[in-house]
Structure 1
Amino acid sequence: MADKRKYVIPGDVITSGPFRPEQNVVLEGNNIISTSVGISEIYEDSVKVIPLTGKYIPKINDLVIGKVISHTSLSWELDVNSCYVGFLPAQDVFGRDFSTHADELSSKLKTGDLVAARIANFDRTRDPLITISDRDLGKIDDGILVKISPSKVPRLIGKKGSMIQMIEMGTNAAITIGQNGWVVISCETEEGLSKAKKAVEMVNEKAHIANLTDLIKEMLDGKDES
């Protein structure tokens, strides 16, 4: 059988033969062809494409924020807002002399924990390998998670970091931006936290507006209405 999951674009032939075309695919002659950008899935006798709109496509070295969804004795699996699951090996956390018997994975990271990580390796044919072994990476202990579209991340950062610096300075919040569209905001005051969250959400909703910087500056300078 053909590879079960692969990255496809419109016009790609996913497979041929006696399969039933389902979502985002068409049958042309004997070939099943993708009609959208996404991940193709062949399951039993059917073929579909899960569209990637609004989802994050991993790139090596990207900083991402992930949420632990499960673990085996050798690794954790993280939701990174993608069609792919982030794969964090236990060795990355416990060190080279990691032993599956002595070291309990949930003592370090539990289901639901948020983690700042980097994409260490990815080639579209399998789930991305992630690492938390660099400085400033690892479990996120406090803050709230705000989800935005991955395509709006450059706007949130701004030219040379201008937008995010303005939001942080205007609220005294610390903001960690994952390239996957997940943003963690922490702040010592409720008002600062609320304004920073509002600013991040404004960027997500109004990224197309030319005077967005001015709108956000006005909101930050004003008294919090909520």
Structure 2
Amino acid sequence: MTDTIRVMTWNVHGTFALNPHFDLEGVSAIIRKWSPDIVALQEVDSRGRTDDPFARLADVVGIHRAEARSIVTRDGDYGQVLLSRWPFADVPVVSDVSYQEREPRRAIAACVETPIGEVKVIATHLGLSIHERYEQAQALIRLADAPRVIIAGDFNDWFWVKSVRRVLARRCPMRTRLRTFPARWPLLRLDRIYTASNGTIRRAWTDRDARRHSDHLPVLADISFAP
């Protein structure tokens, strides 16, 4: 039995919004390449499609998934999905972390029954303004109420003023520090994986091949927790 779990987060915006033909198999191949145990995907978009990417992407990791469709239209839905190789200990909770009249935002919180014990995983995609992200980070801290916690997603956070990093450090001080945006010439660390203080990020990396499919690079991390 391994003492680490492999987590991946990826904003797949480019595949759905920038690539008119959307290479779903290409995205799936990137995920399969690294065999992650838990995957948080943002900006999944089924609008204008005849299939359901939410369901098809779930088959890449396992049968366990939780969705947060923040925009629902007649033409399809838009949002995020949390995929897991292992079952959820209970029904995942989707929290509305929207700020005022800005774009709807959600956070998915699920307790995953991993081989190293139950881990609470929070997947999210935060807003574009400083005040919006600050309030949303406070909401994430309230969700991080378990002994083992991982928070993953696109945090849109690059300023120190009211930064998400400072807020989450109160509960999850360990984080990845990889440049992920824009994918072809990454400068900003928008996509991250955080863990509680009893967690250790053994290894963290990205995959430049993913730039063919999105304007964000994915972040992968092997994580262990102290007993």
TM-score bracket for the superposition, by shorter chain length: under 0.3
Q: Which has the higher contact order (CA 8 A, sep 6+)?
A: 2
Larger Rg: 1
